[in-house]
């Protein structure tokens, strides 16, 4: 037998009867975009119910920037997703952390703040995301931030999100910047401002020694308004009356309930969980939905398609001088760092240790930077599980605009089941060409005179890895996700069968339902995705409120 409400098996526990209206808007997901959206809607006098499966973000592992390797590996804070065996990476399953906590992935990420390049957003508009060009999104980037880097027409000064730079007290940070310049690239004084390309200081969502997540920046001020209700529950699917979304079915404390929205439902559940929810609600590729016994409400093949990410490798070197963080990479050292942070919110624990960076082009004819560097004064895995024995340093490096595309798909109609995630990493020939360039160009940077007094032997890939075949084998075995999934419900025109939301972020084919998170990105942006995700929530609020969209026709940068 099938449920008459959702066409699933009778054990689906569907809601029957009327749901209670809780607020003007119901948002699913208290992550980067969801928190920003909730704040702006409540600021405008609207009431919001925010549904989040994860719990509190209060705790040293989240709030202390230097502890960043811990929360993304803790089941308490992370959904624990992983990919299917990736064919082009030797059949490895790669971790796909997503925040299961207030603040979402902004509470477990590396806190790096990168807007993206202006040409990323101009591409969005050219591909059908009308009104999402750089000139259209720049005012929202400015509105959302308080930048502590000086005075600039390109930066914001009074937004909820504090953006700071590390003090770069370790000499290796400025050495990396100088080496990039010696290798032939420019300095960039602000890669989030007029010119991204070059080497310079990295920016972070850290304020007064604490992680300044979307929960700290947006959620708590919204709660103080009295117009926001946060519900801890698992969102099971969107509920419809006819073709209009009227609420969300949730499960909490073992009971299934319905949460009704007076106006609209907005999904901000991540580029993994948002397409999953859409498909569970009957919106997605028709044949795939039918395979799982789900009634098709809107046949949108683009739901769960267009999945993108950034891959990276770690280029590691031994240090000839004891200047790296290895001094503190032991129980006693970590304890000292933790105590100083707890008492004063200062010291190494107050930094994510990504304090210098670079954006360069992989070769001639590349329109704008397509390689990103994060420099770290320690030779260690990003998850903190394996450090080189002794002093060292490393650069995280990877291509920014892979042509590979993957999918998020249901494994069943059970809302509690994790979806199937297949990035299809390294499936395009250009991916390999760009990654080889990453290895060769990074060696060029570390071979510069600036590093002479510090540079020891290459730990990995290792000096013996030279040929393209050897480099490819290293990439196949060691490339890791930078944890930047996006694109699974992309913006486009209603006439585009692969588009999922229109430029107003309304889900095509139904009414009363929008998406506002990194799912909507037509193409991945240059750099880390927290900043453009928050920007999406900011801009979504004006679309939802029917406000005139902000414009900033600032002059084009002098260089790309």
Higher pLDDT, 4 or 166: 166
pLDDT above 50: residue 65: yes
Range of the domain at 518: 17-64+95-166+204-303+487-547
Q: What percent of the chain has pLDDT over 70?
A: 94
Of 238, 231, 276, 311, residue with least CA distance to 485: 311
Query: 515-536: per-residue pLDDT in tens?
Result: 999 999 999 999 999 999 999 9
Query: 332-345: per-residue pLDDT in tens?
Result: 999 999 999 999 99
Residues 246 and 117 reside in one and the same domain: yes
pLDDT above 80: residue 134: yes
* Dihedral (CA of 57, 521, 198, 155) sign: negative
Which one is catalytic: 117, 391, 422, 484? 484
Looking at residue 105, the DSSP 8-state letter turns out to be: G
User: Is cis: bond before 432, omega within 30 of 0?
Assistant: no
Q: What is the pLDDT of residue 486?
A: 98
Residues 234 and 156 reside in one and the same domain: yes
Residues 108 and 152 reside in one and the same domain: yes
Query: 298-334: per-residue pLDDT in tens?
Result: 999 999 999 999 999 999 999 999 999 998 888 899 9
Beta carbons within 10 angstroms of residue 176's beta carbon: 28
Residues 212 and 298 reside in one and the same domain: yes
Given a contact cutoff of 8 angstroms between Cβ atoms, the answer to whether 316 and 458 are in contact is yes
Residue 449 CA to its chain's centroid (Å): 35
Residues 139 and 178 reside in one and the same domain: no
Query: 11-24: per-residue pLDDT in tens?
Result: 344 444 456 667 99
List for the chain the helix, strand, coil content (%; round to 5). 30, 25, 45
Query: 260-296: per-residue pLDDT in tens?
Result: 999 999 999 999 999 999 999 999 999 999 999 999 9
Query: How far apart (Å, rounded) are the C-alpha atoms in residues 279 and 295?
Result: 10
Residues 492 and 522 reside in one and the same domain: yes
- Half-sphere CA count of 535, side-chain side, radius 13 A: 25
Please report, for the domain that includes residue 149, its CATH number: 3.50.50.60
Annotation says 374 is catalytic: no
Given a contact cutoff of 8 angstroms between Cβ atoms, the answer to whether 454 and 319 are in contact is yes
The domain total for the chain is 2
Query: 216-265: per-residue pLDDT in tens?
Result: 999 999 999 999 999 999 999 999 999 999 999 999 999 999 999 999 99
Local structure of 439: helix, strand or coil? helix
Q: What is the pLDDT of residue 17?
A: 43
Higher pLDDT, 19 or 72: 72
Copy the structure tokens of residue 482. Answer: 């930078």
Mean pLDDT over the full length of the chain: 94
Specify if 511 maps to a domain. yes
Query: Where residue 10 falls among pLDDT bands split at 50, 70, 90?
Result: very low
Query: How far apart (Å, rounded) are the C-alpha atoms in residues 468 and 552?
Result: 45
Specify if 77 maps to a domain. no
């Amino acid at each position: 037998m099938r449920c008459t409400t959702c066409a699933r098996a009778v054990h689906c526990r569907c809601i029957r009867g009327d749901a209670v209206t809780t607020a003007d808007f119901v948002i699913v997901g208290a992550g980067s975009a969801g928190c920003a959206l909730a704040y702006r809607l409540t600021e405008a006098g609207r009431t919001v119910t925010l549904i989040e499966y994860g719990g509190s973000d209060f705790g040293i592992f989240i709030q202390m920037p230097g502890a960043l390797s811990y929360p993304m590996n803790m089941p308490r804070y992370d959904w624990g997703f992983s990919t299917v065996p990736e064919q082009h990476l030797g059949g490895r399953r790669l971790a796909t952390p997503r925040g299961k906590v207030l603040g979402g992935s902004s509470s477990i990420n590396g806190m790096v703040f990168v807007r993206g390049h202006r040409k990323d957003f101009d591409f969005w508009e050219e591909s059908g995301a009308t009104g999402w060009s750089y000139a259209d999104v720049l005012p929202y980037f400015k509105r959302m931030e308080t930048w502590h880097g000086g005075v600039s027409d390109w930066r914001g000064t009074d937004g909820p999100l504090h953006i700071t730079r590390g003090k770069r007290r370790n000499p290796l940070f400025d050495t990396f910047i100088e080496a990039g310049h010696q290798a032939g690239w420019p300095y960039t004084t602000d890669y989030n401002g007029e010119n991204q390309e070059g080497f310079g200081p990295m920016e972070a969502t850290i304020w007064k020694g604490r992680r300044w997540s979307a929960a700290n920046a947006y959620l708590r001020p919204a709660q103080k308004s009295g117009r926001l209700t946060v519900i801890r529950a698992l969102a099971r699917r969107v509920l419809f009356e006819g073709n209009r979304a009227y609420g969300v079915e949730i499960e909490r404390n073992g009971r299934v309930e319905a949460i009704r929205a007076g106006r609209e439902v907005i999904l901000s559940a991540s580029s993994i969980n948002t397409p999953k929810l859409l498909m569970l609600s009957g919106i997605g590729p028709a044949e795939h939905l039918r395979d799982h016994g789900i009634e098709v409400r809107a046949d949108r093949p683009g739901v769960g398609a267009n999945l993108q990410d950034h891959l990276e490798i770690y280029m590691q070197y031994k240090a000839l001088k004891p200047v790296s963080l290895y001094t503190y990479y032991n129980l006693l050292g970590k304890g000292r760092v933790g105590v100083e942070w707890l008492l004063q919110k200062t010291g190494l624990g107050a930094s994510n240790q990504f304090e210098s960076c670079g954006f360069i082009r992989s070769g001639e004819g590349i329109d704008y930077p397509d390689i990103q560097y994060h420099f770290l004064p320690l030779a260690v895995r990003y998850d903190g599980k394996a450090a080189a024995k002794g002093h060292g340093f490393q650069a995280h490096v990877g291509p920014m605009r892979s042509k590979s595309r993957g999918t998020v798909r249901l494994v069943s109609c059970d809302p509690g089941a994790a979806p199937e995630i297949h990035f299809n990493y390294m499936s395009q020939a250009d991916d390999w060409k760009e990654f080889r360039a990453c290895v060769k160009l990074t060696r060029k940077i570390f071979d510069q005179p600036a590093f002479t007094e510090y540079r020891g032997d290459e730990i990995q890939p290792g000096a013996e890895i030279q040929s393209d075949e050897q480099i490819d084998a290293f990439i196949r075995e060691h490339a890791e996700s930078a944890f930047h999934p996006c694109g699974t419900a992309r913006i486009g025109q209603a006439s585009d069968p692969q588009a999922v939301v229109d430029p107003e972020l309304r889900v095509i084919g139904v009414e009363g339902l929008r998406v506002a998170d990194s799912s909507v990105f037509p193409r991945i942006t240059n750099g880390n995705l927290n900043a453009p995700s928050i920007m999406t929530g900011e801009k979504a609020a004006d679309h939802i409120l029917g406000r005139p969209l902000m414009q900033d026709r600032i002059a084009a940068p002098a260089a790309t």
